[in-house]
Structure 1
Amino acid sequence: MPDAITPATTDVPDYDRLLRANLERVFNERNGSMRARALDELYGADPVMYEPANVVRGRAAISEVAGKLLEQFGPDFRFVPDGAAVGHHGFGVLRWRAGPSGGPVVVTGSDVADVVDGRIERLWVMLDPQKT
């Protein structure tokens, strides 16, 4: 019988690798075909992304949202992990910050992922309240 602390299976996703790859290869990728390739590798067949004011369905739509964000905020804008992702039972969380490279942080938040068979099926983008 497995003890209460050790997982009973070795099929535990690498939440940190997956969610960091999502930031770097999807949300920081300016080349649309490379972003599409990353989405094919990192996401399930019919993913859903929940933003605070929008629900985005499908890999192509998620790619479009990521591309528009990068265009909107300029060529130096980047998402950077803020610590390691944690997760268990198919649920992973990675905190991040974003802004121009070498500049001030513009926004912070977390990506919360439902991971099935090592791929993101659903992603919630949680934005932290703006400091005034």
Structure 2
Amino acid sequence: MSTNDPTVPGAPEPDFGHLLRANLERVFNERDPARRAAAMEDLYVADPVMYEPTAVVTGRAAIAEVAGRLLEQFGPGFAFHADGVAVGHHGLGTLRWHAGPGEEVAVTGTDAAQVVDGRISRLWVLLDPAVR
């Protein structure tokens, strides 16, 4: 059992805010594949899983590839921005975010992450319904 196991009473909680904000900035906003890969090594466990509404993505390289495709698909001005502070306990953290080109908001959502030994083990990308 890990010494940082959040299910053990009194175990220290990870810094959810730092970890989830770094995930947005260093992975999902990073356009350089080599820098994104380095961030994946820092922020994710060896075999992470990401759950999107329409797919399950396994492994650091595959998650990094999804992030790169999103940035390519939506263009050079597209970026993710954290909203407020992350909250979490017992190894589960969440962070609300919005994304779009420039100041325009195209999509909003929440990332929910299971954190093991200070790294993201599982990431759920929860998209808000479009408001018309």
With the length of structure 2 as denominator, give the TM-score of the two structures: 0.92
Identity %: 67
Report whether the alignment pairs 1:120 with 2:120.
yes
Structure 1 counterpart of 2:62 = 61
Query: What is the CA–CA distance in structure 2 between the aligned matches of 1:86 and 1:24, rounded to whole Å?
Result: 18
How many residues were matched structurally? 124
Query: What is the CA–CA distance in structure 1 between the aligned matches of 2:78 and 2:84, rounded to whole Å?
Result: 19
Over alpha carbons, which structure has the higher Rg?
1
With the length of structure 1 as denominator, give the TM-score of the two structures: 0.92
Query: What is the CA–CA distance in structure 2 between the aligned matches of 1:49 and 1:19, rounded to whole Å?
Result: 13
Any unmatched runs of 5+ in structure 2? 1-8
Query: What is the CA–CA distance in structure 1 between the aligned matches of 2:102 and 2:80, rounded to whole Å?
Result: 9
Correspondence list, 1:1-132, <5 A:
8-9=10-11, 11-102=12-103, 104-132=104-132
CA-atom RMSD in angstroms? 0.9
Runs of 4 or more consecutive aligned structure 1 residues displaced over 6 Å after TM superposition: none
Encode CA deviations 1:56-100: one digit per residue, 9 max, x unaligned.
000000010000000000000000001010000000000000001
Any unmatched runs of 5+ in structure 1? 1-6
